[in-house]
Structure 1
């Protein structure tokens, strides 16, 4: 009877702790992994079960050929701030439940629009994207389930899912140029009267050779609001890129003169570039035609 009383008390205490939302150790603790790829922020929230002597991807533990929440506890959450290519297929910007279907050789990675999905409530018609993954052997035995990123560049990365001796990876790619251009246009739309924003936007377009007429409009407005050697130099470069060397030359010369008297510690980093531009524009500006003088009269 004493034993039963203790058991009842233990259950009651556990219920009270749960109701009070007291943080206690979890057998599958939560984790968050965040990664920026170029202009895109990716966040994954998931729970990490450990092997504890078990073998996953068997009938007894995380069965093969069946949908898995790709972690423990609640659904694994995957958020991307921009459109993302996953193994060459487009995943629109947004938040999803990240599911998978393990198999002996090939896995299926699933992004579901039902962010609260479980294995029991999963419906394929709620899939936003499905991609096949090739299974490989992990370099070492992974005790605790792990999701992470590797092989980062400014526009690509690998998404890795690893547990026990299994590793599967998906190739991720973002369109950095399209995202950057969208960010520039958004910044100007939000702050159309900010000289620094206009200067940065014009500089970006110049660097990409993108919509130079728009860049010239932006930099003209920046110069009219707050003239500096920096925005003058950008304006001269835009005009030079447009082949308007005669217009670019005096502006570059003014940028050099302003920079030399600006007391700006950063000016030495710009000086060589401005001087090279001046030399380039000078060489490309057509020489002024020689003035024709009156012909001298012949002596009698």
Structure 2
């Protein structure tokens, strides 16, 4: 009877703790990993089960050939702020549940539109994307299930799943140029009268040789808010890029003069570039033919 009373008390205590939402240790603690690739932010949230003497991908523990939530407790989620290429296929921007189907020599990686899906509730009709991965053996045993990113460049990375002596990876890629251009256009749309935003947007387009006429309009609006050596120099570079060296030269010269008298601590970093541009523009401005003395006068 005493054991029954104690069991009842224990159950009541657990129920009270759950109702009170008190944070307690979990056998599969939650984790979050975030990575920026170029202009894209990726975040994975998941729970991390540990082996505790068990062997995964067996009939008794995370069986092969069956859908797995790729973690514990709740659905594993991934959020991408822009469209993302996964093994060469497009995953639209958004939040998805990650599931996998482990197999002997392959693993299916699934991105589900049902963000709270469990193994029992999974429906292939909810798939946003499916790709195949090839698992590989690793020498160092991973006790606690791990998801991370590696092999990072300015536009690519690998998404890795590691547990026990197995690692499976998916290749990720983002279109940095398209994303950056979209960010520039949105920034100007959001703040069309901000001189600094207009100058930065025009500078970005200039660096990419993109939409120069539009960029000229942006930098003119920035200059209208207040001339400085930076926006004048940007305008001179845009005009030069358009082949208008005669118009670009006086602007670069004015930028140099303004910079030298600006007391701006950053000007020395611009000075050499402005002087080189002036030399380049000067060499490309067509020479004005000299008028010969007496030319056009009638002989007496």
Which interval holds the TM-score relative to the shorter structure?
Answer: over 0.9
Aligned residue in 2 for 1:65: 65
Deviations 1:225-270, CA, capped at 9 Å, x for gaps: 1110000000000000110000000000000000000000000000
Q: CA RMSD in A?
A: 1.3
For residues 168-207 of structure 1, the aligned pairs below 5 Å read: 168-207=168-207
Provide the residue aligned with 1:215 in structure 2.
215
1:81 aligned onto 2:106: no
Alignment of 1:97-116 (within 5 A): 97-116=97-116
Aligned ranges for residues 1-300 of structure 1 at < 5 Å? 1-294=1-294
Cα offset for 1:297? 9.6
Structure 2 unmatched ranges of 5 or more: none
For each residue in 1:88-110, what CA deviation from the matched residue of structure 2 results, as whole angstroms up to 9, or x when unmatched?
00000000001000011110000
In 1: Cα distance, 2:74 partner to 2:138 partner: 25
**TM-fit CA distance, 1:115:** 0.7
Q: Distance in 1 between matches of 2:244 and 2:258?
A: 22
| CA shift for structure 1 position 292 | 2.6
Q: Provide runs of 4+ in structure 1 moved above 4 Å.
A: 295-299
- What is the number of equivalent residue pairs in this alignment? 299
Q: How many Å separate the matches in 2 of 1:125 and 1:192?
A: 43
Question: What secondary structure does 1:292 align onto?
Answer: coil
Instruction: Tell me, in whole angstroms, the C-alpha distance in 1 between the residues paired with 2:298 and 2:250.
Output: 40
| TM, length-normalised to structure 2 | 0.98
- Aligned-residue offset at 1:298: 9.3
CA apart distance, 1:116: 1.1
1:138 Cα deviation after fit: 2.0
